[in-house]
Amino acid sequence: MLERTATELGRAIAAGKAHPVELLEAQLAAIDAHPLAARIYARTTPQRARAEAMAAAGRARAGLRKGLLDGVPLSWKDLFDSAGVATEAGSALLKGRVPAADAEVLARATQAGLVCLGKTHMSELAFSGLGLNPVTGTPPCINDPGVVPGGSSSGAAASVAFGLAPAAIGSDTGGSVRIPAAWNDLVGLKTTAGALPLTGVVPLCARFDTVGPIARSVEDCAELLGVLTGAPAPDLRGETLAGKRLLVLETVALDDLRPAPGAAFDRAMARLIAAGARVQTVTAPEVAEAMGLAATLFTSEAYGQWRDVIEAAPEKMFPRILDRFRSGADVLATDYLAGWRRLEALRGIWADRVAGADAVILPTSVILPPDANRLMTDDAYYVTENLLALRNTRIGNLLGLCALTLPAGEPSCGISLMGLPGTEARLLRLGAAAEQALR
């Protein structure tokens, strides 16, 4: 039962084949018994979860379920506020921080009947794509105990991959949903900035921060998107790849592509073509220019957000994350504003270039998960791998897109589909068809 998708569990509850309280107790028991659970969950919320599961069971008995996922457990990245429960964003700087109210997206999920299992570990203040966090805990990767899981929604992905949650909610500022999803053979959705509210979400870069699900299927992500938006979930039925126009992004996205992710991407592309997709390549100079703005825009906003807290106790931080924040200290306000003006123009050029395409595709990551021990001892290796981990995913954040990563068929390799802003429903329908082809 614990290996089933969130939507499968929802249907089992509806059919009377699963009981929300029994399902929750089995999930909590699995967490308690798992030898790696302490590296995945920062804290669980059993009292809250049991009350929510009992309420869901009562609705099921009365025929008053709120939706397909009513009664299904869910884990939450530890930057979503939870009333009366610590939310520390993977940082000793926020140790003991206990919010008074739930984040708006958590409140929406609770209103829809989902059950809060607890809070998962993450990269410190969400500022790394590796998932390495020697301060509060580095979660494991499902495919190799010696490598990092991807970040910053590292525990979120691990909770699903290790069977300790049916699905998870993470955040994505530069790839933080998609990288851990890809490296743990899961599906991850990056929503368009502004599509979901950030009220009660510990910020990193507010203009880039987004909320998104990590799950075992595209259908799970679609249903969770519906829960979090409060709108009907996209209807995925009947979609096909036949005649769909997919553009392979050549600019930047295929640079430094290592053998295993490259071979997995090629095989995945062959499957999509065999399913009827029409594939072309596209070069886009605006992508390279946008990538050149990343350091100015991301680091300055992140440091501006956290400077006072960081500099009050810098010794509490992992030095490499501290250095990354401080790299934004010298960015001029004039450069930041000019960078945003130029980025907005580049977004328009991109939209014109890809108009008419159903999606743009690229490898989710050009590297496999790096070795955790070497990251702690080899500075050059850390810098190179951290930058490459998020290189491809950052394209979607800079261009303001929505994006979906799917398992490419090889361990820790993903293929991403990117759509124009606000086209999540269309992207998920396409993703459901691609998922079938890739399987």
Instruction: Find the catalytic residue in 152, 159, 300, 412.
Output: 152
Q: Is 255 left (phi over 0), alpha (psi -120 to 50) or beta?
A: beta
Both tokens assigned to 293: 């703005």
Q: Residue 116 phi/psi, 5° resolution?
A: -85, 110
152 labelled catalytic = yes
Host H or E run for residue 418: strand 414-419
Q: Is 227 left (phi over 0), alpha (psi -120 to 50) or beta?
A: alpha
82 labelled catalytic = no
Burial profile 199-219: b = 16 or more Cβ within 10 angstroms, e = fewer: ebbbbbbeebbbbbbbbbbbb
E-strand stretches of 164-209: 168-172, 187-190
Instruction: Find the catalytic residue in 75, 77, 128, 217.
Output: 77
Task: Please name the residue ranges forming H helices in 43-177.
Answer: 46-62, 104-111, 154-161
Instruction: Find the catalytic residue in 123, 176, 365, 412.
Output: 176
Q: HSE of 90 in the Cβ direction (CA atoms, 13 Å)? A: 34
Cβ proximity of 78 and 92 under 8 Å: no
Both tokens assigned to 298: 């991301």
- Tell the burial category of 334 from Cβ atoms under 10 Å away from its Cβ (0-12, 13-18, 19+): exposed
- Tell the burial category of 407 from Cβ atoms under 10 Å away from its Cβ (0-12, 13-18, 19+): buried
Both tokens assigned to 305: 């957000």
Query: 174 to each of 51, 151, 393, 422, how far by Cα in Å?
Result: 35, 10, 6, 18
Which residues have C-beta within 8 Å of that of residue 294, sequence separation ≥ 6? 174, 394, 398
Q: Which residues pair with 187 in a beta bridge?
A: 215
User: Which is nearest to 171 in space by CA: 148, 146, 149, 197?
Assistant: 197
Sign of CA dihedral 272, 273, 276, 278: positive
Active-site positions? 77, 152, 176
